[in-house]
Homo-oligomer: A and B are copies of this chain.
Amino acid sequence: MADPYLNPRFVHNAWYVAAWDHEIGAEGLFARQLLGKPLVFWRKADGSVVALDDRCCHRAAPLSIGRKEGDCVRCLYHGLKFDASGACVQMPGQERIPPNACVRSYPVVERDRFVWIWMGDAAQADATKIPAFFWHDSPEWRMKPGYIHYRAHYQLVVDNLLDFAHLSYVHPTTLGTANVAQVRAKVEPIDGGLRITRWSLDDDMPPNHQRVARFQGKVDRWQIYEWHPPAFMRMDAGSAPAGSGAPEGHVVPQAMRFRHTSVQTPETAGTTHYFFCQARAFELDDDAMTEAIFQDVSTAFAEDRAMIEAQQRILDATPDFRPVGTTHDQALNMARHILKQRLALEVAA
C-alpha cells in the first residue's frame, strides 16, 4: 500500500522546539500542545524550564489552569501537588501517596533562546545533538523572534522550505525574483540531513533586500541552508555586489549577510507551530531595521501560510492525491525519505 501523503504519525525520538524562551515567563504556567499531547511548562526559581503532561494523574484536569507553588504545580481541581519531576508530593486529606501518582515529565534544554523538549524515549535524549542557532543571541547578530500557527500538517511546511522555486510565485514582492524558479539548487546529504546551496549571480536584488539595501545594482545572492529532521532549517543567506567575490568567499563590507531560522513543531496531525527569525550581521543598533526585516518576513510567511492551508484543504477533500514530481523536488523527496526512515526505526523499536 502506498504511504499516505501526510503521515499522521510523528517522530518522537528527536529534539523539538517547544517555545521561544520569552514565551515561558518567570511567573505562571504556559500551556502548549506538541505532537498531539497537551503539555504544561513553567520556570523554577533557578530559571530552568519544566515540562509535564498537562493532565493531572488523578482525574485528567489540566495542570495549566492550576497554580504554580514554588517549583511545584498544584492542580486546582482536587489539590494534588506535583514537583518538577512530575512526582505527586501532596494529596490533600491523605498521608500516603501511592508511587504511581505522577505525571510524565520531559527532558528540557534551553539553548539559543529556544526551549527544547524531547518527547520520545528519555534515555536517548542527548543534548549535544541539539542543532545550534548561535545567531539568536550572539552580539554579532540581531533578530526579532517570530511565531505563527498553521492549520496544516508540518510536512507541508517542510515541503515548502525545501523547494525555493515557490519564491518566484508566492513571494514576488517580498523574498523572490523571477530567476529563482529557473535555477536548480545543489542538494547534498549531510549527517542525517541535507545541505542546499543556491547561488544567483548577477541577479536583481530581491525586494526584501532592497528595503534594507546598503548598495545598489546587481547582486550575487546566496541561500545556503541545512535541513535536519524533523523540521529544522538554518540558512546562511545574503546579497553582495555582483562580481565582488562572494562565491569565492570574499565578502565585502557592504554585503548584507543574514542567518535565517525556520523551525516547525507539530501541534496535532493537522496543525503546526512555526518558529522563525531573520538575523542580520549589519546595522545592529538600527531598531527600525530590525522591525522592518521582521515585518517583511512576517508578510512573506503569511503568503506561505495562505497557500499551504489552501493546499491542506484540498488534500482533506481529496485524500487520494499522488504527486507528480518536478526537478525542484529533489530535496523534499530526500527529506520525506529521511522522515520515513526515522519513523520506521521508531515503529520497529
Q: Does A252 contact B (CB under 8 A)?
A: no
Taking a contact as CB atoms under 8 Å apart, the answer to whether A169 and B62 are in contact is: no
Residues from chain B with Cβ under 8 Å of A324 in the complex: 57-58, 88, 98, 100-101
Residues from chain B with Cβ under 8 Å of A128 in the complex: none
Assembly CA distance A75 to B165 (angstroms): 12
Residues from chain B with Cβ under 8 Å of A318 in the complex: 37-38, 53, 55, 60
A316-335, CB < 8 A from B: 317-318, 321, 323-328
Q: Does A163 contact B (CB under 8 A)?
A: yes
Q: How many monomers of this chain does the complex have?
A: 3
Q: Does A215 contact B (CB under 8 A)?
A: no
Q: Does A36 contact B (CB under 8 A)?
A: yes
Q: Does A32 contact B (CB under 8 A)?
A: no
Assembly CA distance A314 to B166 (angstroms): 38
Residues from chain B with Cβ under 8 Å of A75 in the complex: 169
Assembly CA distance A329 to B58 (angstroms): 9
A53-78, CB < 8 A from B: 53-55, 57-62, 65, 74-78
Taking a contact as CB atoms under 8 Å apart, the answer to whether B76 and A170 are in contact is: yes
Assembly CA distance A53 to B312 (angstroms): 15
- Given A58-B324, A317-B33, the answer on whether A169 and B76 have CB atoms closer than 8 Å is yes
Encoded as 1 (CB less than 8 Å from any B CB) or 0, chain A from 113 to 128 comes to 0000000000000000
Encoded as 1 (CB less than 8 Å from any B CB) or 0, chain A from 16 to 59 comes to 00000000000000000100111000000000000001110111
- Given A318-B37, A326-B78, the answer on whether A165 and B61 have CB atoms closer than 8 Å is no
- Given A93-B328, A307-B61, the answer on whether A181 and B78 have CB atoms closer than 8 Å is yes
- Given A57-B323, A311-B62, the answer on whether A78 and B328 have CB atoms closer than 8 Å is yes
A298-346, CB < 8 A from B: 306-307, 310-311, 313-315, 317-318, 321, 323-328
Taking a contact as CB atoms under 8 Å apart, the answer to whether B76 and A326 are in contact is: no
Assembly CA distance A318 to B38 (angstroms): 8
Partner of A58, one of B5, B80, B88, B323: B323
Q: Which residues of A contact B (CB under 8 A)?
A: 5, 33, 36-38, 53-55, 57-62, 65, 74-80, 88, 91-94, 98, 100-101, 159, 163, 165-166, 168-170, 181-184, 306-307, 310-311, 313-315, 317-318, 321, 323-328
A/B interface sample: 19 pairs, CB < 8 A? A37-B317, A38-B317, A38-B318, A55-B321, A57-B324, A59-B323, A60-B311, A60-B314, A60-B318, A62-B310, A62-B314, A78-B166, A78-B328, A91-B327, A92-B182, A93-B181, A93-B183, A98-B325, A101-B324
